[in-house]
Amino acid sequence: MQAMAQTTCTKNKKQGEITIRTSRFGEMSIDPEKIITMTSPFLGFSGSKRFVVKPHGKKSPFFWLQSLDEPKLAFVCIQADILVPQYQPEISNLIRLELQASPQQALDILLVLTIPKDNIEGMTANLMGPVAINPQKRLAKQVLQDPVSYDACWPVFTQDTAE
């Protein structure tokens, strides 16, 4: 039996948490206050507007962005400055406006990782489509960058060690 077409959100008694159903993690209890809303969805996934951040662990730099709208959809992400300190994506004022952020306000920049199943060291980061999050309003958007400046599948590890 498979029921993955729908995400069910049921009210939980304790502290207003809601339970969501996911393909990878089964049922998860989440605080509705922590839901991140995409001002425009990930390209290719127009049905998913709401996500939660699921950290991988205290010592791990990785986390998932798990969709609330599609149980199967989760991206593995990392904070951009941890992976690529010199990375400076362009976030225009219009996009800041869309995220309800002031021109000075710091935004979180996440990179979506593609991790080949049988070859972890072939992992790549999408520098062309970083995700900007306004942590105060919990609004997010994938902000496309100039392809001349940034690669959509930038290898995280050097070629000679990936073997």
Which parts of this chain interact with another protein (CB under 8 A)?
A: 24-25, 40, 42-45, 56-57, 59-62, 64, 72-76, 84, 86-87, 94, 97-98, 112-117, 120-121, 123, 126-129, 142, 144, 147-158, 161
Of 35 and 152, which has the nearer Cβ to another protein?
152
Tally of residues, the chain: 163
DSSP strand pairing (139-142 vs 36-40): parallel
Q: How far is the CB of 10 from another protein (least distance, A)?
A: 22
Q: CB of residue 44 vs another protein: minimum separation in angstroms?
A: 4
Residue 114 contacts residue 153 (beta carbons within 8 Å): yes
Q: Which is nearer to another protein, 17 or 151 (CB)?
A: 151
- For residues 52 and 64, which CB has a smaller minimum distance to another protein in the complex? 64
Indicate the residue among 32 and 81 with the shorter CB distance to another protein: 81
Strands (E), 10-138: 10-11, 18-22, 26-30, 36-40, 50-55, 62-67, 74-79, 108-114, 124-125, 131-134
Sheet arrangement for strand 18-22 = 10-11, 18-22, 26-30
